[in-house]
């Protein structure tokens, strides 16, 4: 019997030794796997696309509805009293108190502070810091999130280092989930026994025995299935994690990994993302009460979410605060004070996309630089040129304008959403090429075809200024063109251009040709200038569609892409320099390091003088020509622009620009059905609605001639230099110094002997 017992003991020791050895080897094997997993990239973090920042300064005019919409879009909340925390604002009378959020963009960073802005008639009068009274010459509002490149898990996460996570949050999480975290080795026998006792006493699962390390092991390496093998693996992986890493590092990984709730279809993971989602704060700025609220969520994010049941969330928070006090991490007074605080959340916002056509455009450019897997996992911050206020104004203006056209003319209505009247808008800063807004169609859900960058449409009379600009070495604004009926031979056939409406003048100056948009005079100019030469000289404008070498090219019969046309008009607004349309400003990695900077690619297409002459003539077209109806819409600042209407009213255009921005509007049917409307009646009102809604983007400054442009009196009848007072209808015209009128007015320049004698006698008496 004794021998049998000894054999059993020896066998037991042997089996135990083998078991321990096997467990040790398995744990050592797992340590390698854990190290490999944790030494690489720990999380798949979606890259984020941002809008541009917004600049505020004294003298800027604000459209209040648009501005409040902007503030709410970047997460600001209206307060009832003076703002006490970042992200709050209070509007009262002629003032705005705003507690700015932190700003971190490539090349600059700023901590938030309380600022006071005063206004008069919606114009910013002054801006000061509330704490010091220091005047602020400029304020920059942070960019707005436009889109995230999600991976298949659709996780939102902002990774935060453990030394940036407040001790109160660390203690709150340990109090809620694992108060003995720093004293156990990944598995806590006392915690397991305590959980078993509590659950048996209540006859239900009230407490879990898993440590933070076990939770981390489950989240990182295992599934949530409840099996013995899974729990055994969880134990061994927990031991492997504890053997390899320090406690602080394990806690840091846990706090960046843990699930805190749902934002629409995306999950909120990690304390950094949770603090933004629930309180619109950096995790470093969380209060004790807010830290306890987040810690309380871990047990059941959907059950204890303050967005779903704020009272239940408050009770759970107070349980955590009580546990923190029992653990000695806060005093009883701190517990009572924090427990009495109301829970104030930032306001639930589901994930959504803004400016979908623009985002498609940006995404196509990004895919040329980065693979999709990189964008969905590396946590890049992608900063764009988009201004959400301009974008919103453009979207509203287009929808309102198209609805107005359909209401006026029932023939334009279509029951099929895919066949409805369409439109497109692009807004640029002409000197930089920055794209401020892009609306590629009426409804992105119906059609993802971007009419700004993909459509090919005839520009009609919008092409006339481009042809005129490349012939300003041969013509001046005062030169006279034939406005009579003329026949031209094209491919062996006779072609006779017609004017849109009857015009009694048989001759028109280049200026008046553009002002009233005369087809016959425009063709006369192109033919006299040389069609082949015109085509060659248009090449620097970089149209991506061919320009056919026919006399009708000046009437816009060759198709263009709207973005190309907007870029071409930017030449007139920027002293002859053509910018490249920019949508991307910067790309930064998750540590803020700059990966792709802004690329400014500009080319000189015209001289400053040539660009100004076209601008001057297009300003005349707006004042008294085809664009004169702008004044009826309250546009009382300097604008240069041109309407365009194609044959059978298939396309309606208006391209207009100020010294600050350029906007192109196109209206038409995708199937080329007639609009029964002109550019002036269909596209121009949309342009006016858009620009009227963004007063802060229009300075009201005029267009000023460059040094190589002079003014000379000319005779309207002859187009030549005016001959003193003898020309009955003289006016001042702009000329490039290198191309001045060579002769004096031949009609009124030769005075009769009687006239000369009369002037001589008059001179004696004077």
Sort strands 381-384 and 480-482 into parallel, antiparallel or unpaired.
Answer: unpaired
- For residue 765, pLDDT over 50 is answered with no
- For residue 628, pLDDT over 90 is answered with yes
Q: Can you tell me the distance from the alpha carbon of 464 to that of 513, in angstroms, rounded to the nearest whole number?
A: 9
Of 141-145, 156-160, 390-394, 441-445, the one with minimum mean pLDDT is: 156-160
- In the prediction, which pLDDT does 761 show? 44
Q: What are the sequence ranges of the domains in the chain?
A: 47-144, 150-340, 354-455+579-606+649-699, 709-765
- For residue 223, pLDDT over 80 is answered with no
- In the prediction, which pLDDT does 156 show? 74
Residue 471: band (very low, low, confident or very high) from pLDDT cuts 50, 70, 90: very high
Dihedral pair phi/psi, residue 467, rounded to 5°: -65, -45
* Edge-to-edge order in the sheet of strand 95-99: 77-78, 88-92, 95-99, 114-120, 123-129
Residue indicated by tokens 């408050």: 314
Q: Can you tell me the distance from the alpha carbon of 227 to that of 538, in angstroms, rounded to the nearest whole number?
A: 74
Of 169-173, 634-638, 648-652, 696-700, the one with minimum mean pLDDT is: 696-700
What integer is the mean pLDDT of 714-724?
89
- For residue 234, pLDDT over 50 is answered with yes
Which CATH class, in words, describes the domain spanning 354-455+579-606+649-699? alpha beta
Same fold, 47-144 and 709-765: no
DSSP-assigned states of every residue in 63-79: -HHHHHHHHHHTT-EE-
Q: Can you tell me the distance from the alpha carbon of 207 to that of 203, in angstroms, rounded to the nearest whole number?
A: 11
Which CATH class, in words, describes the domain spanning 709-765? alpha beta
Of 439 and 42, more confident: 439
Percent of the chain past pLDDT 70, that is, above it, reads: 81
Of 298-302, 614-618, 753-757, the one with minimum mean pLDDT is: 753-757
pLDDT in tens, 374-389: 665 567 788 899 999 9
pLDDT in tens, 48-97: 888 999 999 999 999 999 899 899 888 888 888 889 888 899 998 889 99
DSSP-assigned states of every residue in 498-553: --SS----SEEEHHHHHHHT-HHHHHHHHHHH-HHHHHHHHGGG--SS----SGGG
Tokens for 556? Answer: 């816009």
- In the prediction, which pLDDT does 201 show? 54
Residue 573: band (very low, low, confident or very high) from pLDDT cuts 50, 70, 90: very high
Instruction: Say what the pTM is.
Output: 0.78
Burial class (CB in 10 A: 0-12, 13-18, 19+), 704: exposed
- For residue 524, pLDDT over 60 is answered with yes
What is the length of the chain?
Answer: 766
CATH of domain 150-340: 1.10.3810.10
What integer is the mean pLDDT of 259-272?
80
Neighbours of 5 (CB within 10 A): 9
Q: Can you tell me the distance from the alpha carbon of 383 to that of 104, in angstroms, rounded to the nearest whole number?
A: 11
Residue 348: band (very low, low, confident or very high) from pLDDT cuts 50, 70, 90: low
- For residue 264, pLDDT over 90 is answered with no
pLDDT in tens, 156-190: 777 888 888 999 999 999 988 888 888 877 666 66
Neighbours of 420 (CB within 10 A): 19
- For residue 525, pLDDT over 60 is answered with yes
Superfamily grouping for domain 47-144: Penicillin-binding protein 1b domain (3.30.2060.10)
Please name the residues in contact with 90: beta carbons below 8 A apart, sequence gap of 6 or more: 78, 79, 80, 81, 82, 83, 96, 97, 98
Of 22-26, 123-127, 212-216, 403-407, the one with minimum mean pLDDT is: 22-26
- For residue 150, pLDDT over 50 is answered with yes
Please name the residues in contact with 660: beta carbons below 8 A apart, sequence gap of 6 or more: 429, 697, 698, 699, 701
DSSP-assigned states of every residue in 277-293: HHHSS-GGG--HHHHHH
Instruction: Work out the mean pLDDT of the chain and round it to a whole number.
Output: 84
């Amino acid at each position: 019997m004794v021998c049998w017992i000894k054999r059993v003991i020896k066998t037991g020791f042997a089996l135990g030794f083998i078991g321990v050895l096997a467990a040790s080897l398995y744990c050592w094997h797992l340590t390698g796997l854990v190290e490999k997993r944790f030494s690489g990239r720990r999380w798949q973090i979606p890259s984020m696309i941002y809008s541009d920042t917004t600049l505020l300064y004294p003298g800027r005019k604000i459209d209040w509805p648009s501005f409040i919409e902007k503030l709410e879009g970047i997460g600001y909340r209206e307060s009832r009293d003076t703002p006490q925390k970042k992200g709050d604002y209070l509007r009262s009378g002629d003032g705005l108190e705003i507690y700015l959020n932190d700003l971190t963009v490539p090349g600059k960073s700023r901590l938030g502070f309380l600022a006071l802005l005063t206004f008069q008639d919606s114009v910013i009068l002054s801006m000061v810091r509330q704490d010091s009274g220091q005047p602020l010459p400029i304020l920059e509002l942070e960019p707005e999130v436009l889109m995230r490149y999600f991976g298949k898990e659709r996780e939102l996460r902002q990774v935060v280092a453990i030394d940036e996570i407040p001790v109160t949050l660390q203690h709150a999480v340990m109090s809620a989930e694992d108060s003995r975290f720093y004293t156990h080795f990944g598995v806590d026998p006392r915690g397991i026994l305590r959980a078993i006792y509590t659950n048996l006493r209540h006859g239900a699962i009230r407490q879990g025995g898993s440590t933070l390390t076990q939770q981390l092991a489950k989240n990182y390496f295992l599934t949530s299935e409840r099996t013995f093998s899974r729990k055994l693996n969880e134990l061994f992986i927990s031991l492997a994690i504890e053997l390899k890493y320090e406690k602080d590092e394990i806690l840091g990984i846990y706090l960046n990994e843990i699930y805190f709730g749902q934002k629409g279809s995306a999950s909120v993971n990690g304390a950094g993302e949770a603090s933004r989602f629930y309180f619109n704060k950096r995790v470093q700025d969380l209060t004790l009460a807010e830290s306890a609220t987040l810690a309380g969520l871990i047990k059941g994010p959907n059950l204890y979410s303050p967005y779903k049941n704020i009272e239940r969330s408050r009770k759970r928070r107070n349980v955590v605060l009580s546990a923190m006090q029992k653990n000695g991490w806060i005093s009883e007074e701190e517990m009572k004070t924090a427990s009495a605080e109301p829970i104030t959340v930032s306001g639930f916002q589901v994930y959504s996309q803004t400016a979908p056509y623009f985002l498609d455009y940006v995404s196509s450019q990004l895919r040329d630089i980065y693979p999709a897997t990189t964008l969905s996992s590396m946590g890049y911050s992608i900063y764009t040129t988009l201004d959400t206020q301009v974008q919103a104004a453009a979207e509203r203006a287009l929808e309102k304008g198209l609805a107005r056209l359909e209401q006026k003319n029932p023939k334009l209505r279509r029951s099929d959403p895919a066949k409805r009247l369409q439109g497109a808008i692009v807004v640029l800063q002409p000197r930089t090429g920055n794209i401020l807004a892009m609306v590629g169609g009426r409804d992105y859900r119906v059609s993802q075809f971007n009419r700004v960058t993909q459509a090919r449409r005839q520009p009609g009379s919008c092409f006339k200024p481009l042809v005129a600009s490349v012939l300003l070495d041969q013509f001046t604004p005062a030169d006279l063109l034939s406005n009579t009926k003329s026949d031209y031979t094209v491919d062996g056939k006779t072609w006779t251009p017609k004017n849109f409406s009857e015009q009694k003048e048989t001759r028109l100056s280049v200026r008046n040709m553009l002002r009233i948009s005369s087809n016959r005079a425009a063709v006369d100019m192109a033919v006299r200038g040389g069609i082949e030469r015109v085509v060659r000289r248009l090449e620097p404008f970089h149209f991506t569609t061919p320009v056919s070498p026919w006399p009708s090219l000046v009437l816009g019969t060759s198709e263009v892409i709207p973005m190309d046309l907007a870029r071409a008009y930017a030449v007139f607004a920027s002293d002859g320099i053509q910018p490249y349309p920019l949508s991307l400003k910067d790309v930064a990695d998750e540590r803020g390091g700059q990966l792709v900077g802004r690329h400014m690619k500009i080319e000189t297409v015209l001289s400053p003088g040539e660009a100004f002459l076209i601008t001057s003539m297009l300003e005349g077209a707006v004042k008294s020509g085809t664009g004169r109806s702008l004044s009826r819409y309250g546009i009382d600042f300097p604008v240069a622009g041109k309407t365009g209407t194609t044959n059978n009213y298939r396309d309606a255009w208006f391209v207009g620009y100020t010294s600050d921005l350029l906007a192109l509007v196109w209206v038409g049917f995708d199937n080329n059905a007639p609009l029964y409307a002109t550019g002036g009646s269909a596209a121009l009102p949309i342009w006016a609605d858009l620009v009227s809604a963004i007063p802060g983007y229009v300075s009201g400054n005029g267009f000023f001639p460059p040094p190589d442009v002079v003014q000379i009196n000319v005779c309207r009848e002859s187009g030549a230099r005016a001959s003193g007072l003898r020309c009955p209808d003289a006016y001042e015209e702009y000329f490039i110094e290198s191309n001045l009128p060579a002769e004096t007015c031949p009609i009124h320049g030769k005075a009769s002997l009687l006239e000369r004698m009369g002037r001589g006698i008059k001179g004696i008496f004077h």
